Structure 1
Amino acid sequence: MTIPATILDTARTQVLEQEIGLNQQQLMEVLTLPEEQIPDLMELAHQVRLKWCGEEIEVEGIISLKTGGCPEDCHFCSQSGLFESPVRSVWLDIPNLVEAAKQTAKTGATEFCIVAAVKGPDERLMTQLEEAVLAIHSEVEIEVAASIGTLNKEQVDRLAAAGVHRYNHNLETARSYFPEVVTTHTWEERRETLRLVAEAGMEVCSGGILGMGETLEQRAEFAVQLAELDPHEVPMNFLDPRPGTPFADRELMDSRDALRSIGAFRLAMPHTMLRFAGGRELTLGDKGSEQALLGGINAMIVGNYLTTLGRPMEDDLDMMDRLQLPIKVLNKVI
């Protein structure tokens, strides 16, 4: 009697050998794997990552140029000015940004991302970011990425000319679930910014937050929609319910579902950089984080996030050393 092939057998042939990501129906099978098969999923995802991305882990630090006071109503975000949140609007000056980039580079990070809590940049923000990128590149050997909301073509071209090599604009969740998360702008608006970024030659960085109440079907939908972007990087966040936000009372995502999701996203996007981001400490803890780093993840944000605390940088670097995961070295001359 012939034993029917499992989804992991299919993925081994289709993704590991043929370099073709799983489709939405196949991802649903991954997201519903029995708990006892999660280690096998992690091992296969690790093999896919090693074969199609290499063994290096990219380390990134992030900093908020403008924190709080955002006019959007993203239900997970404590930076919205529409919610009763303890986060208040703060601006950083260029010397502080340069110093933060220096401290980030000392950890071995190759990437420094400047973020602003805005719907999109005004002229003041655009000018300050352009000046900041120039100042950082003149003093620090590190790549600069940015995330300052929805952009038009002129703004995209200015950032590319300034030396921003990667732009982050998260789709946040599946298109079908997006209206439950944000009502002040559309999924399509975000998608259009990412199209402009790709056309300008900047690397596309787009991910989102898992565990916001989406169904497993919508989680699979989200992975496929991200894969269609052909992104250089996908940040994987897990909901950290923030006081004062509409999602403050949501439960943390189950760690087993988080691991299934990481494996599924790797099998959907064999070439993409999957970056561990916010909420991993609460959702996965130390043991789960180690499983994920050996299960398809190949990049990390180290240190604190925009409005929440992360692990000490040293702890993450020690973890990577313990797992014998080499950190990517910046190969560029400034």
Structure 2
Amino acid sequence: MSDVDGRSTTSAQPVDVLARAEAEVLEAGRGLGEGALREVLSLPDSRLPELLDLAHRVRLRWCGPEVEVEGIVSLKTGGCPEDCHFCSQSGLFPTPVRAAWLDIPGLVRAARQTAASGATEFCVVAAVRGPDERLLRQVRAGIEAIRADEVTRELNIACSLGMLTGEQVEELAAMGVHRYNHNLETARSHFSRVVTTHTWEERWSTLRMVRDAGMEVCCGGIIGMGETTEQRAEFASQLAELDPHEVPLNFLIPNPGTPFEHYPVVEGPEALRTVAAFRLALPRTMLRFAGGRELTFGDLGARQGMLGGINAIIVGNYLTNLGRPAGEDLDMLAELNMPIKALNSTL
């Protein structure tokens, strides 16, 4: 149809973003780009069930039904020289956390508790800018002790020790660390409002070196640190560019004494929409429920998240915050008929 000047008066109707996601993500396995993710994150609550259902189907199609279970332990707590505004372990803020080291027997006990929960992953974390030789010696001794213990010897060991040099990357790989966690935390455009003592690019450099050394890359961040919807879409797109093996999704816990202590907790529907959007950005990536989910979701919301794109979970306590008892999460997975990923399938 045309008007008197011969110009067309019809135009193609815009394709609904979820219909587009069904074709691009569910059928073709291609993650949504930043623009489409902004649309997803702006969907009304009335469309949340439809969005969660699509994200769950994407997860089953491209990742399968299994859930990877992980436990984490803090080898070196508190006293960190960096100013990450969300973190109670920064030595620059008046938080209740004090510097402390975990000894090797304590590390093995934590690994045993992780193994007893049915987890296959055990992540050793330290609150540092980057590891010094003392810390690397402690990590090396800890890995040797875990490998020597009959109960824990087959656990996959991951580490999160801050920013690394090339030599340190090679050293950790030689120790048998199979996965390294280093979160970008937030979108590049928002990072300087969250951390000022180092840059987003420094974190990115560590992640690239980890990948080049053959270790799996674990990289995610925290939702609810004052970022905009557009910056959440930006962050998901930047993670997709990195293509990590695993993305842990944390939700801000406004810890006392930190600059973010008065930030509001992310509301459940907003958090679920974010989980689903990240799944649509990263259809083949392990997407892990991490810190803050208990506060943000509660029990019902956690179940919805597991049915909205999540396929991995941290059980037990976090670094300086309490989590749910591991048994409750394992019971939830059983009730949802979600099998736990077997150890021999992760080696």
TM-score, normalised via structure 2 length: 0.94
Q: Identity rate of aligned residues, in percent?
A: 65
> Aligned pair 1:234/2:247, yes or no?
yes
Which residue is equivalent to 1:58?
68
SS at match of 2:69: strand
Which residue is equivalent to 1:217?
230
Shift of 1:5: 2.7
* Map 1:182-261 → 2, pairs under 5 A: 182-261=195-274
Amino acid at match of 2:64: G
SS at match of 2:227: coil
Amino acid at match of 2:301: G
Shift of 1:36: 1.1
> Aligned pair 1:21/2:31, yes or no?
yes
SS at match of 1:198: helix
Amino acid at match of 2:222: I
CA deviations 1:229-283 (Å, max 9, x no partner) are 1100000000010000000000001111101100000000001000000000111
Amino acid at match of 1:295: G
SS at match of 1:218: helix
1:101 maps to which of 94, 103, 111: 111
Which residue is equivalent to 1:9?
19
Give unpaired runs (5+ residues) of structure 2.
Answer: 1-9
Amino acid at match of 1:90: A
Give unpaired runs (5+ residues) of structure 1.
Answer: none
Q: 1:243 and 1:50 mapped to 2: Cα distance? A: 39
Which residue is equivalent to 2:187?
174
Which residue is equivalent to 2:164?
151
Amino acid at match of 1:89: A
Q: Tell me the matched-pair count.
A: 334
Q: 2:346 and 2:318 mapped to 1: Cα distance? A: 28
CA deviations 1:276-316 (Å, max 9, x no partner) are 00000111111111001011000000000000010111111
Q: 1:136 and 1:77 mapped to 2: Cα distance? A: 28
Kindly report the root-mean-square deviation, in angstroms, between the aligned alpha carbons of the 2 structures.
1.3
* Map 1:78-97 → 2, pairs under 5 A: 78-97=88-107
> Aligned pair 1:325/2:338, yes or no?
yes
Question: Against the structure 1 CA distance between its residues 20 and 90, is the aligned structure 2 distance closer, same or farther, given a 3 Å change threshold?
Answer: same
Which residue is equivalent to 1:268?
281
Moved over 4 A (4+): 1-4
Amino acid at match of 1:246: P
Q: 2:75 and 2:88 mapped to 1: Cα distance? A: 16
TM-score, normalised via structure 1 length: 0.98
Amino acid at match of 2:258: T
> Aligned pair 1:301/2:319, yes or no?
no
